[in-house]
């Protein structure tokens, strides 16, 4: 279920990109695709480690939440994997038309 989002968006982007290119031109189409992708930032902000019940519930005072997340190894590997996948995944949709 989680991974199916990439397939569904792939099916949706196939007819959507030529429509956006005809309607808004290549600059407008890329701007709209970037705006759609930017909405994923809110979902990505939810990807943080779950609190360990054995440890005190508060965050460490010396590190803010984002900085703590950027030092979390599994999150960094997960984020890097999606950056690499997204770098090559949308190329046919953008340059294919």
- Is 54 inside any structural domain? no
Predicted local confidence at residue 32, as pLDDT: 92
Looking at mean pLDDT, say which of 18-27, 31-40, 74-83 comes out highest: 18-27
Helix axes 73-89, 4-38, angle to 10 degrees: 90
Could you tell me if residue 35 is inside a domain? yes
**Counted domains in the chain:** 1
13 domain residue, yes or no: yes
64 close to 72: Cβ distance less than 8 angstroms? no
Residue 35 has pLDDT above 80, yes or no: yes
Domain that holds residue 39: 1-49+63-91
- The pTM of the whole model exceeds 0.85: no
Q: Is 16 within the bounds of a domain?
A: yes
Residue-level pLDDT at 89 = 66
Residue 24 contacts residue 16 (beta carbons within 8 Å): no
Q: Does residue 6 lie in a domain region?
A: yes
* Chain segment 3-16, per-residue pLDDT in tens: 666 677 777 888 88
39-96: pLDDT as tens digits: 878 777 777 767 777 665 555 556 667 778 788 888 888 888 888 877 766 666 555 6
Q: Quick check: is 87 in a domain?
A: yes
């Amino acid at each position: 279920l989680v991974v199916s989002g990439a397939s569904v968006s792939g099916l949706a982007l196939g007819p959507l990109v030529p429509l956006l290119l005809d309607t808004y031109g290549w600059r407008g189409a890329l701007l709209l695709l970037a705006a759609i992708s930017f909405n994923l930032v809110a979902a990505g902000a939810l990807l943080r480690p779950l609190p360990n019940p054995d440890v005190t519930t508060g965050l460490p005072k010396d590190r803010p939440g984002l900085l703590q997340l950027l030092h979390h190894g599994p999150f960094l590997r997960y984020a890097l994997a999606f950056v690499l996948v997204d770098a090559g995944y949308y190329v046919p949709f953008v340059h294919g038309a």
